[in-house]
């Protein structure tokens, strides 16, 4: 096994579940896609609620989003991300002008949720973000002017499972060397003509991940990684920012995938008694493969799905709507159910660095834009949050595994 990054960096790259067909592909090392209940779209999928009735120990925290505003906490100054939120809103407004959006909303199954209403809601919310001077002022204005629709969740009671994804940063080479041996592949030009069922991961790259040049993928290498797990994790995330050996930077993004669902590697380890379900954590999966690297030859091919990539020429990570995703302000949901590009509000727990730089779970109520989707993000009870780029984002994404609620906000 070639030299790999530190365990911390690897942990930054592995997450419990990721959700994007474009950015994170809905893949998971620990979990396979769940069969979250799908309520009838016309009845219980999105239920209007009174936001003032949602309290925590008698306090209404729903929509109290302190992260937007500059603030001081325990004598530490924090800069708000208002500018980033405004960019995310503008990206959704851009999407809503496209033919893709027109088609999506023409076919959207819930009466009253239209492209025009979503667009007007975003514009009004943007104006409120610009003019309100505090989280409390914004919360009051939104509760006064907007109707809140709670997602049914995985239990039809509003319980939603949240995970995180990110854009990893790795070392890579434009040419194969003794150190950089594990390639990412371009989409084959004749891919639309490939017979189905498609070849599996094992058939395409071999058990060791090094046989891709001997079959259908010959000559399609895009770039080489020095560690097999890193290459696999780019398949998980669907994109990456690469520091090349020549000192240049390269970004790669999703170009296509074979016609297979993902099989969770962690669950496979549990099935065969390698790990216990009760102790199925990120460190456990990482430690297992670091202690027994040859086991990757056995378990990674069980994810039969194979992803192809393209050089994105430095472009930011982009979601399924065709617009960039914004750290902590973009989410992925099941777009067969949820309104694309819409303003949403999440209430959940997110890993956040404390004053000592340590990650601790923090309860948040945060305004987000629904801008992505994924093959593992199925049903009304799954949300994946984009956490940003690099190791710190990866650390946080890897620890994001919580439950909460999802609301969509539309003008009354």
pLDDT in tens, 232-265: 888 877 889 999 999 999 999 999 999 998 777 8
Residue 17 predicted with pLDDT over 80? no
- Segment (H or E) for 93: helix 82-95
The pLDDT of residue 133: 95
Closest by CA to 328, choosing from 377, 236, 400, is: 400
Phi, psi of 353 (to 5 degrees): -75, 130
Give the integer Cα–Cα distance in Å for 308 and 68: 36
Structure confidence by residue, pLDDT tens digits, 135-173: 999 999 999 999 999 999 999 999 999 988 888 899 999
pLDDT at 200 exceeding the cut of 70: yes
Local confidence band at 266 (pLDDT 50, 70, 90 cut-offs): confident
Q: What is the pLDDT of residue 102?
A: 97
Over 80: is that where the pLDDT of 374 sits?
no
What string of DSSP letters covers 231-255? HHHHHHHSEEEEEETTS-EEEEEEE
Q: What are phi and psi of 327, to 5 degrees?
A: -55, 125
Mean pLDDT, residues 312-317: 92
User: In this structure, are residues 371 and 91 in contact, taking their beta carbons and an 8 Å threshold?
Assistant: yes
* Neighbour-count burial for 307-346, b at 16+ CB within 10 Å, e otherwise: bbbbebeeeebbbbbebbbbbbbbbbbbbebbbbbbbbbb
Residue-range domain boundaries for the chain: 7-29+166-311, 46-163+320-411
pLDDT tops 90 at residue 3: no
**What local confidence, expressed as pLDDT, does residue 4 receive?**
31
The encoded tokens of residue 257 equal 């995938």
Residue 26: its pLDDT value, please? 37
User: Does 311 have pLDDT greater than 80?
Assistant: yes
Going 303 to 376 to 27 to 315, the CA torsion angle's sign is positive
The pLDDT of 324-335, averaged and rounded, is: 96
Per-residue pLDDT tens digits for 65-112: 999 998 655 555 667 899 999 999 999 999 999 999 999 999 999 999
Per CATH, the homologous superfamily of domain 46-163+320-411 is: RlpA-like domain (2.40.40.10)
Determine which of 84-88, 212-216, 326-330, 351-355 has the lowest per-residue pLDDT on average.
351-355
User: What span, in angstroms and rounded, lies between the C-alpha atoms of 325 and 327?
Assistant: 7
Q: Which two tokens stand for residue 402?
A: 């919580």
pLDDT at 90: 98
Round to whole Å and give the CA distance between 287 and 292. Answer: 8
Supply the pLDDT for residue 18: 31
CATH for 7-29+166-311, options being 3.50.50.60, 3.80.10.10, 2.40.240.50, 3.40.50.1100: 2.40.240.50
Distance CA 118, CA 409 (A): 9
Contact indicator for 95, 335 with CB cutoff of 8 Å: no
Beta strand 221-225 with 169-173 is antiparallel
> Is residue 180 exposed (0-12), middle (13-18) or buried (19+ Cβ within 10 Å)?
buried
Which of residues 13 and 31 earns the better pLDDT score? 31
Return d(Cα 65, Cα 75) in angstroms, integer: 19
pLDDT-derived band at 11 (thresholds 50, 70, 90) equals very low
């Amino acid at each position: 096994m070639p030299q790999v990054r530190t365990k911390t960096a690897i942990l930054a790259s592995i997450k419990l579940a990721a959700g994007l067909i474009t950015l994170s592909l809905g893949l998971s090392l620990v979990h396979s896609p769940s069969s979250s209940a799908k309520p009838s779209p016309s009845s219980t999928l999105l239920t209007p609620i009174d936001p003032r009735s949602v309290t925590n120990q008698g306090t209404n925290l729903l929509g109290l989003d302190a992260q937007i505003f500059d603030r001081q906490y325990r004598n530490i100054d924090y800069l708000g991300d208002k500018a980033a939120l405004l960019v995310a809103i503008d990206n959704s407004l851009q999407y809503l002008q496209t033919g893709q959006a027109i088609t999506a909303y023409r076919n959207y199954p819930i009466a009253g949720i239209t492209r025009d209403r979503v667009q007007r809601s975003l514009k009004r919310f943007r104006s409120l973000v610009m003019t309100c001077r505090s989280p409390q002022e914004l919360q009051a204005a939104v509760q006064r002017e907007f109707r809140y629709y709670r997602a049914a969740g995985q239990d039809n009671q509003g319980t939603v499972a949240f995970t995180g994804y990110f854009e990893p940063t790795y070392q890579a080479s434009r040419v194969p060397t003794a150190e950089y041996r594990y390639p990412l592949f371009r989409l084959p030009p004749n891919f639309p003509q490939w017979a189905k069922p498609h070849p599996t991961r094992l058939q395409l790259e071999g058990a060791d991940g090094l046989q891709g040049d001997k079959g259908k993928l010959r000559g399609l290498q895009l770039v080489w990684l020095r560690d097999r797990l890193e290459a696999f994790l780019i398949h998980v995330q669907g994109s990456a920012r690469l520091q090349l050996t020549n000192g240049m930077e390269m970004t790669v993004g999703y170009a296509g995938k074979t016609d297979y669902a993902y099989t969770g590697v962690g669950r496979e380890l549990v099935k065969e008694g390698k790990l216990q379900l009760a102790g199925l954590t990120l460190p456990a999966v990482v430690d297992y493969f670091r202690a027994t690297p040859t086991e990757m030859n056995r378990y990674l091919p069980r994810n039969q799905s194979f992803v192809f990539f393209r050089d994105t020429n430095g472009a930011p990570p982009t979601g399924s709507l065709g617009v960039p995703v914004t750290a902590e302000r973009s989410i992925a949901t099941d777009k067969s159910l949820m309104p694309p590009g819409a303003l949403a509000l999440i209430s959940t727990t997110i890993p956040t660095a404390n004053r000592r730089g340590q990650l601790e779970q923090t309860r948040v109520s945060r305004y987000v834009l629904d801008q992505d989707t994924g093959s593992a993000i199925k049903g009304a009870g799954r949300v994946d949050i984009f956490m940003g780029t690099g190791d710190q984002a990866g650390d946080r994404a890897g620890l994001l595994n919580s439950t909460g609620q999802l609301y969509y906000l539309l003008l009354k």
